[in-house]
Amino acid sequence: MGALLGIGLLSQSLEQLEVIVERGQSLWVMTKLTLLALPQLLAVILPIGLFVGALIALTRLQRDQELIAASAAGMNRSALIRPAMMIALIVTAAGLLTTTLLQPWGQQESRRQAFAIRTDLAALLVEEGRFVQGPDGLAVYTQQIEQNGLLRNLFVYIDDGKTVTSWDAETARFTRIDGIPVLTMQKGSMQRYSSRGVLNHLSFDNYAIDLTPYARGTDQNIRFKASDLWMNELFAPTEDIIKMAGTRGELAAEGHSRIVSPFYAIVAMAFALSAIMGGAFSRTGYTGRIAKAAGLFLLVRVMGYGIVAAAAWNGWLNVFQYLLPVAATVLALRSLFTALKPRRRWLPSMSMKKRAA
């Protein structure tokens, strides 16, 4: 489980590396975005991690003949599998908490953070030690950017096609005044050529530049996907949600998938039990049975994803989202008990006695 989670976190952190490289954000912002993606990652990893962990634990118990000793002590098959199924139920409950509460919260927070980064004028227009060319003839240079967002030794150049204006300031900061994005500067000067070609010079202690003309694309709304929505929004979406996230069928299929997917932990445990305990004791190992169980579990899980995709366009198929894990669990557990029934063997002598009778 830990290894799978580590691989997932590594892949997420590599995806978020753009936040540091291209957007100039801190390591903490990248870490926060990675952790916010963790609930959605857990929803996928939990059943797989449980399956792998159960196989390792059961194989060791069988190799050390602990299961045989428990059977010899009078424990029946139901008593032997009960602790494992209790663990699966606990994992299922944790999965339901993750998919119904933690995942939408984490995904929405991640969207808001990413939106704030994309629309952050400081990240778009400023890069330490370099001239950054902005829209509509805007160019910005700053010598140093402090952790609190303070800009030191700033130079701003604007050529709107009619006039050329430049500002320089000891310190500056991007902020908003009454919702309007502005650049506030302290202890600086402004130079501008008049229509007569005369250079006007102005010194100031405080000055603010309205950045509204250069903030196009930063006033858009956050768009959420179906995987980001709360359960009530999936099953009873408003018209705005439908326009933003998808059709009613797609949202309903996502909602049913959120409910069903944690129950694949029970399916995983059932297949793990059937691989180790669903046949006779083997001194040579259980590689073949484990491979078969792993392949069947993978097939069932892929079929589940396929049903989710199909149910987005055919709502009645949502029933099969529930039937598939139930059927797979029943079939896997059935092999545990059918393996206990002795098979009748017909010997030649028995066949001759029957004919004589």
Please give the pLDDT value at position 214.
72
Angle between helices 318-338 and 287-311 (to 10 degrees): 160
Looking at the DSSP assignment, which residues form a beta bridge with residue 188?
169, 204
Please give the pLDDT value at position 286.
76
Please give the pLDDT value at position 322.
97
Q: Which residues of the chain are modeled with pLDDT < 70?
A: 1-26, 117-124, 147, 179, 194-195, 215-220, 279-285, 339-357
Task: Kindly state the tokens that stand for 77.
Answer: 């098959």
Please give the pLDDT value at position 181.
79
Q: Which residues contact 136 (CB under 8 A, 6 or more apart)?
A: 158, 160, 213, 214
Please give the pLDDT value at position 182.
84
Please give the pLDDT value at position 350.
47
Q: Which residues contact 247 (CB under 8 A, 6 or more apart)?
A: 312
Q: Where are the beta strands (DSSP E) in the chain?
A: 132-133, 138-145, 151-159, 164-177, 180-193, 199-210
DSSP, residue by residue, 10-76: HHHHHHTHHHHHTT---HHHHHHHHHHTHHHHHHHHHHHHHHHHHHHHHHHHHHTTHHHHHHHTT--
Please give the pLDDT value at position 13.
57
Please give the pLDDT value at position 20.
56
Please give the pLDDT value at position 220.
59
pTM, rounded to two decimals: 0.73
Cβ–Cβ under 8 Å, residues 186 and 172: yes
Please give the pLDDT value at position 14.
56
